[in-house]
Amino acid sequence: MSQRARRRLAGWGVVAILLGGVIAGSHGLRHLKRQGPAELPDEPEPVPVELWVLVIDPGHGGEDTGAVGGGGLKEKDVTLALGLALRRELELRSDIVVVMTRTRDVAMLPAERAALANRSGADVFIALHINSWTGRSVSGYETFYYGNPSDEHVEALTSMEGAAEAEAARSRDGDPLSPWERRQYHRRASRALAELVQSELVSRPALKAVDRGVKQGQFGVLRLTRMPAVLVELGFISNPEEEARLRSEEARRTIVEALADSLLAYRDAHPDGFRLVHGYGPR
């Protein structure tokens, strides 16, 4: 059972005890007058357990091959294989519900991928990609979250206004957070997840990964998803060594373990997920 499920059940236990106390108390008084035994309160209704939902988005697909290595390896095939293996790994190791944007070799628009994630009520979104460059020597891993470096400055400038607007905008559309607060939350949560993913990947000796760092990017899937989201570039397919590594079962296994470790660490740090904490969304 997840931490969240346990906490929810514990919460309902407290409610049941309090409610039981009130009912038993009032019954007790009545029974005391009648000198009868106190009745036990009814058991509370079973509570549906909220689970933590992750969307895995294997980049590209169908006619959109993504980058292609000198040896012929296609990005779309690597991202799909890694995505499916990551799903298996997480389902073995946790009770996380995994939603895939694609499980087959099909093309999808960024907007379709994001819409699927938004509909699924996900707590976190991760897009898998492989990098490419014109020079064969460039290599390494990098992880993106949504943003534009110049936004940091703009956000700081507008933070006073944003805070003032927050109260006015609250509950306008049933969202307890104002759009400004939501952007701030997204940015912090997405960056925290990106840092976990990146540090797990570059700490695995088997990947010999150059650490290209955590960066902000304007990718469509990051812009359009409404939950903390990251896009990870798992090496350069244009680099012959990294292309060969991406073909190997050992490196794929290492990538999947690193991604699973970072996602589970993030989940453990945010057991209530994105939606419950902020009381917003379809779940």
CB of 113 to Zn ion, least distance (A): 12
CB of 66 to Zn ion, least distance (A): 4
CB of 99 to Zn ion, least distance (A): 20
Site stretch for Zn ion (CB under 5 A), options 10-18, 52-60, 97-105, 253-261 = 52-60
Q: Of residues 8, 76, 129, 267, which one binds Zn ion by CB under 5 A?
A: 129
> With respect to Zn ion, which residue has the nearer C-beta, 59 or 61?
59
Q: Of residues 58, 61, 66, 217, which one binds Zn ion by CB under 5 A?
A: 66
141-146 and 229-236: which strand pairing? antiparallel
Cα separation of the two ends of the chain: 18
Provide the mask over 7-46, with x wherever binding to Zn ion is found by CB under 5 A and - wherever it is not.
----------------------------------------
Closest CB to Zn ion belongs to which residue? 129
Site stretch for Zn ion (CB under 5 A), options 58-66, 86-94, 207-215, 219-227 = 58-66
Site stretch for Zn ion (CB under 5 A), options 62-70, 99-107, 168-176, 202-210 = 62-70
CB of 140 to Zn ion, least distance (A): 15
CB of 221 to Zn ion, least distance (A): 10
The CA dihedral of 187, 227, 214, 258, to the nearest 10 degrees, is 140
CB of 75 to Zn ion, least distance (A): 5
Q: Of residues 58, 59, 110, 147, which one binds Zn ion by CB under 5 A?
A: 59
> With respect to Zn ion, which residue has the nearer C-beta, 189 or 222?
222
CB of 170 to Zn ion, least distance (A): 38
Distance separating alpha carbons of residues 123 and 116, to the nearest angstrom? 13
Site stretch for Zn ion (CB under 5 A), options 65-73, 159-167, 176-184, 223-231 = 65-73
Binders of Zn ion: how many residues, by CB under 5 A? 3
Which residues here bind Zn ion, judged by CB under 5 A? 59, 66, 129
